[in-house]
């Protein structure tokens, strides 16, 4: 296979901190073979105690999914997801029978997020000892609102904006681009565009708001199985975060960095 071109391969650029970054959510998820013991609150208690000082608020969510058997009628089964939140509600850990996830609405830095992810993965490993990780994904979502959305042509490169720069875009209610990128570490689902007030393409991750905005959603994942170990999974997560940042930097201008407090 031919090596992907930059920004889908090669070393990441030096990180430029953005004190006012327009990130609205950052998520990481690791999926593993189902562990039915996670349904039992008594078995989850050890995990809760290990992270309770940071994520003290517990919520039990009941979820339903449809099972399609090879014969007979579909079945609706109930599952449980344990949600552990920080007191300020900016951080959340979600534990299901086959996944662990970390998400935040108050991203400070890559180092901080990955340190927190390391702790959470380590506590899952200690409490439940999953055999392997079947999928790992990292997702960064930016949302630009007024007044900066009105100067999006200065903040995002013209080859990314595409038709949004054409006169015809003035009549469009929304403009969305979606593309699948193959990076050397894994696949990236990239979505971006202009959205009117009250609109979103993923209400669970990107809440609708009462004003127009420009959204950039970069979601990188691999379906390749690997051992469920803290060091191995953090190495993969770090490489994904760096690749997403590399693609992000390729898409935005230096004016974007300055706009949000960076020094390019």
pLDDT in tens, 82-97: 999 999 999 999 999 9
In this structure, are residues 190 and 179 in contact, taking their beta carbons and an 8 Å threshold?
Answer: yes
Rounded CA separation 58/48 (Å): 8
pLDDT in tens, 129-153: 999 999 999 999 999 999 999 999 9
Query: Structural domain boundaries of the chain?
Result: 23-259
pLDDT the model gives residue 165? 78
Q: State mean pLDDT over 48-71.
A: 81
Give the residue from 245, 248, 251, 244 showing the smallest Cα distance to 158: 251
pLDDT the model gives residue 68? 54
- The H or E element spanning position 60 is strand 57-67
pLDDT in tens, 202-223: 998 999 999 999 999 999 999 8
Close Cβ partners of 158 (under 8 Å, ≥ 6 residues apart)? 165
pTM: 0.92
């Amino acid at each position: 296979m031919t090596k992907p071109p930059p920004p889908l391969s090669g070393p990441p650029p030096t990180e430029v901190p953005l004190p006012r970054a327009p990130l609205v959510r950052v998520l990481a998820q690791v999926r593993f073979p189902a562990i039915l013991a996670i349904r039992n609150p008594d078995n989850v208690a050890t995990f809760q105690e290990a992270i309770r000082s940071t994520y003290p608020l517990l919520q039990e969510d009941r979820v339903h999914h449809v099972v399609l058997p090879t014969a007979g009628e579909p079945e609706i089964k109930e599952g449980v997801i344990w949600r552990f939140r920080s007191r300020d509600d900016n951080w959340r850990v979600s534990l299901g029978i086959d996944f662990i996830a970390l998400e935040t609405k108050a991203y400070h830095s890559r180092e901080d997020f990955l340190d927190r992810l390391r702790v959470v993965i380590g506590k899952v490993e200690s409490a439940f000892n999953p055999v392997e990780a079947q999928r790992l994904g990292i997702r960064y979502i930016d949302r630009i609102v007024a007044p900066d959305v009105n100067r999006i042509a200065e903040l995002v490169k013209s080859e990314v904006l595409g038709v949004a720069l054409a006169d015809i875009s003035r009549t469009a209610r929304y403009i969305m681009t979606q593309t699948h990128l193959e990076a050397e570490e894994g696949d990236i689902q990239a979505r971006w565009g202009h959205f009117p007030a009250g609109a979103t393409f993923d209400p669970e991750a990107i809440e609708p708001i009462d004003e127009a905005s420009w959204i950039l959603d970069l979601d990188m994942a691999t379906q390749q199985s690997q051992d469920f170990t803290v060091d191995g999974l953090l190495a993969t997560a770090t490489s994904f975060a760096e690749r997403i940042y590399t693609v992000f930097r390729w898409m935005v201008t230096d004016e974007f960095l300055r706009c949000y407090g960076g020094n390019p």
